[in-house]
Structure 1
Amino acid sequence: MSASLETAPAGPGSTGPRRGFLFFLGFAAVGAAMANLVPAVLTLSLKATQLDAARATTIVSVVSGVGALASLLAFPLLGRLSDRTTSRLGRRRPFLLLAVVLYAVGAGCMLVAGNTAVLTLSAVATFVGFSSVTVVCTAVLTDQLPPHRRGPASAVIGLSLPLGAVLGLFTAQLVAPDLTAMILLPAAAAIAGALLLFTTLDDPPGTARPPFDARELLRTFWVNPRRRPDFAWAWASRLLVFLGVAAIQAYQTFYLILVLDFPPERVAGAVFLSTLVLTAAATLFAPITAKLSDRLRRRKPFVVGAALIFAVGLGLAAFADSFTEFLVAVGIVGLGQGVYLAVDIALVTQLVPDPANSGKDLGLMNIANTLPSSIVPAIAPAILSIGATAAAPQNFTALFLVGALAGLAGAALILPIRTVA
């Protein structure tokens, strides 16, 4: 039987969000994305080059790997802790303050880092700060809003990553080559966003702590797929779609240089333009479909359709022969990705096993967003070598087609979900 979008309540104790809720939620989410993505894409590499140019790629691999692992572990752990928090500040708001501290530590350590260990500490602090804000932003949807009003807020959170990437990289370009400013400005935006959401969020204190023992600690990282099959289908769908996202995001620079013959000195501008096209397409269509999803009381058709559009875009990118064709493909990818993220988040909030304590399970769902960033670099070399020749040593067509197939499979896995229409 499908869950009702009309009658399901928001979280216990909620009086509904205050005016400006969507703005402050978006500010915090976009700021977190800026603080997370600018180091991952740009400043971490620049700092590693300062430390040791000959070993910079190795340093980045180690630092990014440890930071990503810490972030993956933090998502469900921080969610579990927020579910159990009975502070007078509320259940979720203390974790915004935690993020503020972590952002400050992360930026400070990157500024002063003289070795790989300190740079790794910077990445761990920054990436876990991102996890902390993301846990809050997703959990407050179930705390504050009934299911039939979650579309716009879901769209705001879904769009935060592409918007954060564009705004963060644009800001970094404005102050380049001043590395200090490139490090501090994204962190300052994230701190400001977290503090403003902390100040404005109506977050009732938790009334009682859920039971907790050693078995519950292990369950932090697990939802039984046999008992909660719809949650498992949604998790697997998101993982597959984000495998496609990671394929094009991580390897488009190499694709532009090796296939479309961009000179290295021009590729940064091309990547920024493609990111801008993707973000514009996502920003244009995601809010519209999120509101329409609320109005029609339907989630699955939008999520399935978005994943299919995303797969088509990746398929077109696989056979693009010019930068113009690639931009068209990226625009279609952005349309599908934006709509998918906007509506899928709303769908997922209706599938959590315990809506009153949603932080842990939404934290687990967020792992499906980030895990592909580690999986794709591990499997991409094997895919890129398929049919490789001396003239074409990297098979990007195969890589993007695998991403498209992952998107198609992600769409298919939404269909078995029964408890949400």
Structure 2
Amino acid sequence: MVNVDRAHEPDPLHTRAAPSDPVPSRVSIGWLLRFALAWFGLWLLIMLPGQFMTAKLAAVVAPDGKVALTSFLIGEASVVILVAVPVLGVLSDRTRLRGWRRRAWVLGGFLLAGSSFALVGFQREPVTIAVLIALVSLGQAAVLVALSAVIADQVPRFQRGRASAAMGVPQVLALAIGMVVVTMLVPDVGGSWAIIGLLAIACAVPFLLGSRDPQPQGDAVPQRFSAALRIPPLGPNHDYYWAMTSRVLVNAGNLVGTTYLLFFLSDVLAVDDPDAGMLVLILVYLVACGFSGWLGGLLSDRLRIRRMFVLVAAALQATAALVLAVVPTWDASIAAAVLLGLGYGVFLSVDQALVTDVLPDRTNRARDLGLINAAQHLPIAPLVAWLVLSVAGYRELYAVAAVIMLLGGILIFRVRSVR
């Protein structure tokens, strides 16, 4: 529910006037917590496969081809999301269920993704696994577009850093808590996929029951469906596309470095228990990310700046990747986990707020956010990893990841309408 006890505060984040738009009221702490819990459920489904569960499943199903199978499944999920997110965004913008314009897609998406996810770990045929992963990705896409649009629909600009933190910080919590569940509490492959799928569905319930979507008013009502299928023109929306490019590169570089971390620990560092080592690194990463994530959102709102935070976040993550490339030791991995956590926490808490501030068309918010979210799921990471690991090793892979992330941070300064 939305708390209406305070009026909108002036926001100097923009360097030019924004289009006329109904001003949302301040959202309450309770709303932010329910919103964060729903994101926690979604991140369980998104983060754990890419960081750990897919690699472990591939090692069981196809031990001799684990890298190829892992790359294929991650790439397949990326392609499904890439195609589905913009289309589902258009449909969400045009949903007319009173009070359920976004929540209907959140509900349906969680049910499809969570139930399919729960079945994946019991399969041993790669084709069946691939079909279920596609269904999981389709459900993830539905939730992703709907929850992302909620920030633009219901959160005033002066709170979007905090809302972005409520969206981003649960990503790290999901990864850390989920890792504890799947490595210590339910280490069995089938059981771990099942428990995570069911837990994700449960996390959506408080937000679905405790909020109500506002109806679009006046010129915010979407028009023709066919017009919404055309992407925003480049000329008047250059800030939108530069923000998209920055996000794609930072996320791709991060994913290049983290997806194959389990293999780095086992094949390069030769740690005795790679699963336990992975858990330690993620817990260190969690502490750093949780600290910088919420703090970054608050400071961004109070200082009314976004771009510098994105650059600092990218630079910290690039430094973490370079540490692994130059000093491939266990102690260096701990230091890299701290740097990566600090950087990614800041990035998560600021980037979504910046992107929401540069949306080109308030009648198609879910579509435009969907395009950015789809673009960040371009299968750049598995392609880069496959190319680099085909001719070099993991140290070179982390050097490439550092360059990609730093470039993404620099390009955010091509955005002119947000400080």
Under TM normalisation by the shorter chain, which class is it?
0.7 to 0.9
| CA deviation string 1:135-189 (max 9, x = no partner) | 2222111111111111111012122322211111211223434444312221122
Partners of 1:362 and 1:224 lie apart in 2 by: 15
Q: Name the count of aligned residue pairs.
A: 406
Which amino acid is 2:206 matched to? L
> Displacement, 1:254?
2.7
2:244 aligns with one of 215, 232, 235: 235
Once the 2 structures are TM-superposed, how far is the Cα of residue 375 of structure 1 from its aligned partner?
A: 1.6
2:96 corresponds to which of 65, 86, 93: 86
The C-alpha deviation readout for 1:5-56, integer Å capped at 9, x for no partner, is 9997997485554551111111111111112333445555666677676777
The one-letter code sitting in structure 1 at the alignment partner of 2:176 is: V
- Which residue among 212, 218, 223 is the counterpart of 1:211? 223
Paired residue for 1:375? Answer: 380
Aligned partner (choices 131, 134, 138) of residue 124 of structure 1: 134
Aligned to 2:268: 259
How far apart are 1:238 and its partner, in Å? Answer: 1.0
SS at match of 2:260: helix
Is the counterpart of residue 354 in structure 1 residue 361 in structure 2? yes
* Shift of residue 369, structure 1, vs aligned partner: 3.2
Q: Could you tell me how far 1:395 is from its partner in structure 2?
A: 3.2
The equivalent position to 1:324 in structure 2, one of 323, 331, 336, is 331
Native 8 Å contact 1:47 1:110 kept in 2: no
Aligned to 1:391: none
The residue number in structure 1 matching 2:235 is 226
- Which one of the candidate residues 239, 248, 251 is aligned to 2:257? 248
Q: Cα deviations across residues 83-126 of structure 1 (Å, max 9, x unaligned)?
A: 11111133111111112320344045436657444433321222
Contact 1:10 1:142 in 2 (8 A): no
Is the contact between residue 286 and residue 341 of structure 2 (CA under 8 Å) also seen in structure 1? yes
Counterpart residue identity of residue 357, structure 1: N
Contact 1:48 1:60 (8 Å CA) reproduced: yes
Letter of the 1:262 partner, please give it.
V
Matching residue of 1:272: 279
Q: Distance in 2 between matches of 1:113 and 1:73?
A: 25
Distance 2:15 2:41 in 1: 30
Aligned with 1:311 (options 295, 315, 318): 318
Q: Which runs of 5+ in 2 are unaligned?
A: 1-11
Partner of 1:290: 297
Does the 8 A contact of 1:133 with 1:194 survive in 2? no
Deviates more, 1:166-175 or 1:377-386: 377-386
Question: Which residue number corresponds to residue 23 of structure 1?
Answer: 33
Q: CA deviation at 1:343?
A: 0.6
Deviation at 1:319, TM superposition (A): 1.0
How has the CA–CA distance of structure 1 residues 252 and 93 changed in structure 2, closer, same or farther, with 3 Å as cutoff? same
How high is the TM-score relative to the length of structure 2?
Answer: 0.87
Matches of 1:96 and 1:10 in 2, distance apart?
28
Matched, 1:184 2:194: yes
Which deviations, in whole Å up to 9, do the C-alpha atoms of 1:386-419 show, x marking residues without a partner?
6xxxxxxx43332212211112211211112111
Give distance in 2, aligned partners of 1:59 and 1:410. 28
Inter-partner Cα distance in structure 2 for 1:148 and 1:16: 9
Q: Distance in 2 between matches of 1:55 and 1:154?
A: 38
CA gap 1:28/1:258 in 2 versus in 1, 3 angstroms: same
1:57 to 1:308, Cα distance in 2 relative to 1, 3 A:
closer
Cα offset for 1:357? 3.0
Judging changes above 3 Å, is the alpha-carbon distance between structure 1 residues 332 and 113 closer, same or farther for their aligned structure 2 residues? closer
Q: 2:183 aligns with which of 173, 177, 181?
A: 173
| TM-score where L is the length of structure 1 | 0.86
Closer/same/farther in 2, CA of residues 256 and 66 from structure 1, 3 Å limit: closer
How far is 1:57 from its partner? 6.3
What do you get for the CA RMSD once the two structures are aligned?
2.9
How high is the sequence identity, in percent, across the aligned residues? 30
* Inter-partner Cα distance in structure 1 for 2:152 and 2:15: 12
Q: For residue 414 of structure 2, give the secondary structure of its aligned residue in structure 1.
A: coil
Q: How far is 1:364 from its partner? A: 1.3
Taking a change above 3 Å as real, the CA distance of residues 245 and 295 of structure 1, as seen in their structure-2 partners, is: same
**Conserved 8 A contact 1:109-1:118:** no
Alpha-carbon distance in structure 2 between the residues aligned to 1:92 and 1:146: 18
Tell me if 1:99 matches 2:109: yes
Return closer, same or farther for 1:408/1:179 CA change in 2, 3 Å cut-off. Answer: closer
Contact 2:145 2:370 (8 Å CA) reproduced: yes
Distance 1:5 1:289, change over 3 A: farther
- Quote the Cα distance in structure 2 between the aligned partners of 1:143 and 1:285: 26
CA contact (8 A) 1:96 1:136 kept: yes
| 1:116 to 1:206, Cα distance in 2 relative to 1, 3 A | farther
- Structure-2 separation of matches of 1:289 and 1:9: 27
Aligned to 1:338: 345
CA contact (8 A) 2:115 2:197 kept: no
Give the 3 Å change call, closer, same or farther, for CA 318–50 of structure 1 in structure 2.
closer
Per the TM alignment, residue 256 of structure 1 is displaced from its structure 2 partner at its CA by 2.3
Q: 1:58 to 1:316 in 2, by over 3 A?
A: closer
Q: Which amino acid aligns with 2:394?
A: F
Q: Deviations over 1:211-247 (max 9, x none)?
A: 2254532x2xx33332211111111111111122012
Q: Which amino acid aligns with 2:347?
A: Y
CA shift for structure 1 position 383? 2.8
- SS for the counterpart of 1:224 is coil
Corresponding position: 1:148 with 2:167: no
